[in-house]
Every structure is written in structure tokens, then in C-alpha cells.
Chains A and B, each alone.
Chain A
């Protein structure tokens, strides 16, 4: 099965990944092959099967809602690529 409707350019856009034209060409072909391999999954009958999201299901895991020390501000900011006045600096978002 070829990957009908698979357009690497569109999906890369959804994933916020800038690709070079060479990458687009290469990935379109490689991912087409991978999707072809994955089509194997159409074989088994899954009509009465529940999906598994986690092998060991735990639900509603909570902890006491109490204030505890957290990472100090300067340490949380230490790896920022660009900062100003203790805030993350980003390009202009609104006019």
C-alpha cells in the first residue's frame, strides 16, 4: 500500500519543521516505504479489541495539593537562549 494522502510538506508544516528540498524528497520516499510496511496492521481483526494506551493502567493519580519549594527563578531561566528582565525573550507576536 502506498501512503495515500501523505504529503511530507504539509505534515512538516504541522510539526513546525523547516525542511530543505532534498529532505522533503528523501523523507517523502522513505516515509512512504515505512507507511507501506505499517499497512501490515490492517491484517489482524481488531473489531472487538479495546485500545491500550498504557500497559499498566493507573487512573487519577494525585498527590496532596500543598505548596512546596520549586526551582528558583534564576535556575529555571539559566538555559534560556534569550532573556530580558528575567523573562523569555521572543519575536513580536501581536502588532
Chain B
């Protein structure tokens, strides 16, 4: 089935002219038609625009363009509704942006276009990327393709569900505290958060600027390497992007992990970790050992403070970033007798509950009299968390952990309990605070119901090649990534 192909398999068929880009795009649109009523991954998509881009790609192929010059030539990719795509709607799954149409492309989108990709569709998410289930979308909740009574994870839940349901060949999402890796784990696909500064944030609507990164959702590790290579690199439009050369990530996928040292942090095997997840990760760790890696116990002693640190720093940055949504220059506006009333009413009616909670929390921890006790202290604990990783990476090449404490939970199960919801990201948050890279890939299923379980690999800053290499070697030795949800 065409829509089920990986990017690499599709690219081979496109190169041999066995299929056209139009047929590939059509296959995605047909699959959306068939399953998205159940999955609800897409907020919108423009069929005519998608097919036009496909025809353009077919013309390029007919003119002699190849994957050498255009590594994603004719590959349909879908985007989280937080990335600017010129001429397409941009809502961040919020009401406050009204009928906003992006006037320009994000740098990641520009790079994908240069690589020949077809950019289509707006994928659902938690409003402004705040959440772990897509239940905070102002529009609707996306469903987990493995069990539609369950959440797909979040905040990039639409991206994960669309890739798992074969509605696109791959997708981009964003990860501030786990928003790529957690939904990738819960939907059974590969998701990577690159090192902070690896991918330009220009054209990404900011949530927490010191933590946000754009990254790929794919069906296998090789596609993850391809897509990461296409979007990475320095960008003078993002002063936090880092002038570090982009390696050939696919070249690292040689299957040889003999002698690599992988750390197993004791602190991640806590109460609250489900037995099935713990067992699946233990079996995966054994597999890594069989493949020649040396697994050693390590300590990340400040792990227990990561969630509390994150829930000060991320809301603080968000409260500043979201001040721009005031009803003056773009988006929805609720009239007021004076500017103050206009701002307050627009924001009060335009933002959903979780966004309001985080703006209030962030405003509070930055306010006069509380800054030192909360924000400054959190920044210091962030240093301790970061030092834990620096020390660990003196001894090991990568770290292996569960991605999430449990498989996907039921819709509604945690929506009234913010702290329980926050703790579903407990294993992914440290990576963002430390600025390192991480990915999640499938490592098993729960028994009843059958739900995907994710394995997280964490790497050194700019150590993406190493964790992709390990993930690829593991994937080649297992078949979890070949399983398809029952849609």
C-alpha cells in the first residue's frame, strides 16, 4: 500500500518512476478521507494546493531532478499547527489567532521545500503546545490510532497520530518538554527532539524559547535521519541557532554499536512506571547488550526536580511570549472601551484553560517579590540538572530510558488534574532543560489493550548521529516498527 511506505521506500519508487508524486499525495489524501474521521489528526488540509505541489515535484522529476539534489523530492509531509507555512492557516490550535494566514515560511519549511518535499495540512496539537494529550486543542481531541478511546499524547499529538495512521509519510512537530517524544512513544512512531540550536526556530510560534525545538516524526529511524538532516543547520534569522556543521546522519546508520557505552539511569525506574513499560525497556536494554553495546548504571540525581523546574521556567517564558497575542495586530479581537479592556477580553476569551493557567503561573513566578524564590531558583536547579548530564556523558555515549511512565491513557482520565497530566512528561523534560538531544522509538506493546511502548535514547549536545545509530541498530534487530494500528 503506497501510503504505508517509508520515505526511503517511496523515494526509491519515485526515482524508478514506479509511482508519481501525485499518486503518493493522492494516497495520503485517500487515507485521510478513509481514517481521519476517527483519528482527527488534521485541523485542515488544502487538497488542491497539495496536488499542485505534487505536480510541480513530478515536473522536477521529469526534468531530471534526483534525490541527490532534492533528498525529499515528491514526499508529502504534514506540519504541526505551530509552524508558519506561507499562505496556509496558522492557529496553534487556539481560538485567539482567528483566521490568521502565515505571511512567510518558517526556516524549517523553506529547507523542506528546497529538499523537494510537498508541504500539506495543519496537524492538531494542544493549544500553543501546552499539554500532553491534545485535549487542550480549542477545536477537538485527536485519537490514538491504536485505540480511539485514548489520547495520542501531546502536544504534537496530531503529528504522531497522522504518521502512525499513514496519513502522511512523515511530519514535523515541536518539543518543549517532550511534545515530540511522548506522542511518538504513545502512537508507535519515531520522534526526535534535536539538540537546542540544531534546527532554526524562525517561523515557529514560541512557547518557551529556551526549550523549544522542531523535530521529525517518522515511520522508521532512517527516515528520521533523512528528515533531521533536511531541517538542521545554522540560520541567521534565529540568534539561538548554532553554527555547527550538519553531518550526514544517514551515514551513521551502519548497524555497528559494538563498544558503545549506554547509561541506564537508576532514577528513571520509579514507582509510577508501569510494569509493562518497565519490562519492555528491560528487554530492549538486553537487546542492546546483545548487539554489542555496553550498558552501565548511571546516576542523574536531580531528576526528581525536573518537572517542578520545568513548570516554572516554561510558563515564565510562555507568559512573556504570549503577551503578543493582544488583539491589536493580528488574530481575533474582542472589543473594549479602552486598550486595557480590549486586551483582557480578547485574551480572556481567546485562550483556553491550560494556556491561562500557565500564563498566570508564569506571570506570578516572574512578578516582583517572587522572582528570586521561584524563577531564579528554578534556573539554578536547571544548572544542577544540566550538570548531571554533563557528568554522565563523561562516562557514556548515550542514555537509555522509558519515554513515558505508561502507555496511552484514556481521553478525560487526566484532563481535570494538571499535576497528573504534567507528570506524564516526567522522563522527557530533563532533555529540554539540559539542551541535549533525544529520540523515542517503538520497543514493544502492552498486552490488553495493545498499545505502543516507547524507548527513549538521550544523546550529547550534537550527538544526534550516535543515538540514531543505536536506534537504527535496535530497529533492525526488532520488528515493532512494522506493526500497524487496527484502523
A binding-site residues for B, Cβ under 8 Å: 5-6, 8, 11-12, 14-20, 23, 26-27, 30-31, 33-35, 37-44, 46, 49-56, 58, 61, 63, 71, 75-76, 78-82, 88, 90-93
A-B CB contacts (within 8 Å), total count: 174
The residue in chain A whose Cβ has the minimal distance to the Cβ of B378 is A41
Complex interface: chain B residues within 8 A of A93 (CB): 338-339
Interface residues of B in 317-357 (CB under 8 A from A): 319, 323, 326-333, 335-345, 347-349, 351, 353, 356-357
The residue in chain B whose Cβ has the minimal distance to the Cβ of A26 is B353
| Structural contact, A18 and B419, CB atoms closer than 8 A | no
| Structural contact, A17 and B380, CB atoms closer than 8 A | no
Complex interface: chain A residues within 8 A of B337 (CB): 91
B375 to chain A, nearest CB (A): 9
A12 to chain B, nearest CB (A): 6
Given contacts A40-B305, A46-B377, 15 further A-B contacts (CB under 8 A): A5-B370, A14-B363, A16-B340, A17-B360, A18-B348, A34-B357, A38-B374, A41-B381, A44-B305, A53-B379, A55-B433, A71-B103, A78-B103, A79-B329, A88-B329
Given contact pairs A23-B353, A55-B196, A93-B338, A41 touches B305 in the complex (Cβ within 8 A): yes
Complex interface: chain B residues within 8 A of A34 (CB): 311, 357, 361, 418-419, 422
The residue in chain B whose Cβ has the minimal distance to the Cβ of A30 is B418
A58 to B104, CA, bound (A): 26
Among B330, B338, B360, B435, point to the contact of A31 (Cβ < 8 A). B360
The residue in chain A whose Cβ has the minimal distance to the Cβ of B338 is A91
| Structural contact, A55 and B435, CB atoms closer than 8 A | yes
Give per-residue flags for B226-246: 1 if the beta carbon is below 8 A from chain A beta carbons, else 0.
000000000010011010000
User: Which of B337, B378, B434, B436 has the largest count of A CB atoms less than 10 A from its CB?
Assistant: B378
A71 to B327, CA, bound (A): 20
B202 to chain A, nearest CB (A): 13
Complex interface: chain A residues within 8 A of B105 (CB): none
Complex interface: chain A residues within 8 A of B240 (CB): 54, 56, 58, 61
A63 to B340, CA, bound (A): 36
Among B332, B343, B357, B381, point to the contact of A27 (Cβ < 8 A). B357
Q: Pick out which of these stretches binds chain A: B167-175, B382-390, B393-401, B475-483.
A: B382-390
Complex interface: chain A residues within 8 A of B378 (CB): 41
| Structural contact, B435 and A56, CB atoms closer than 8 A | yes
Complex interface: chain B residues within 8 A of A79 (CB): 98-101, 103, 329-331
- Interface size class of chain B, counting residues whose CB lies under 8 Å from the partner chain: 35 or more
B327 to chain A, nearest CB (A): 6
| Structural contact, B377 and A41, CB atoms closer than 8 A | yes
| Structural contact, A92 and B338, CB atoms closer than 8 A | yes
A55 to B369, CA, bound (A): 26
| Structural contact, A15 and B374, CB atoms closer than 8 A | no
A8 to B367, CA, bound (A): 13
Given contact pairs A40-B305, A81-B327, A82-B333, A27 touches B344 in the complex (Cβ within 8 A): no
| Structural contact, B347 and A17, CB atoms closer than 8 A | yes
B418 to chain A, nearest CB (A): 6
| Structural contact, B197 and A56, CB atoms closer than 8 A | yes
| Structural contact, B382 and A51, CB atoms closer than 8 A | yes
Among A8, A14, A35, A44, point to the contact of B302 (Cβ < 8 A). A44
A21 to chain B, nearest CB (A): 12
Complex interface: chain B residues within 8 A of A26 (CB): 353
Complex interface: chain A residues within 8 A of B357 (CB): 27, 30-31, 34
| Structural contact, A90 and B342, CB atoms closer than 8 A | yes
A34 to B374, CA, bound (A): 12
| Structural contact, B384 and A49, CB atoms closer than 8 A | yes
| Structural contact, B418 and A44, CB atoms closer than 8 A | no
| Structural contact, B308 and A40, CB atoms closer than 8 A | yes
| Structural contact, A18 and B342, CB atoms closer than 8 A | no
Complex interface: chain A residues within 8 A of B356 (CB): 12, 17, 19, 23, 27
Given contact pairs A27-B357, A27-B360, A43-B305, A52 touches B382 in the complex (Cβ within 8 A): yes
Complex interface: chain B residues within 8 A of A37 (CB): 307-308, 311, 419
Complex interface: chain A residues within 8 A of B360 (CB): 8, 11-12, 15, 17, 27, 31
| Structural contact, A56 and B101, CB atoms closer than 8 A | no
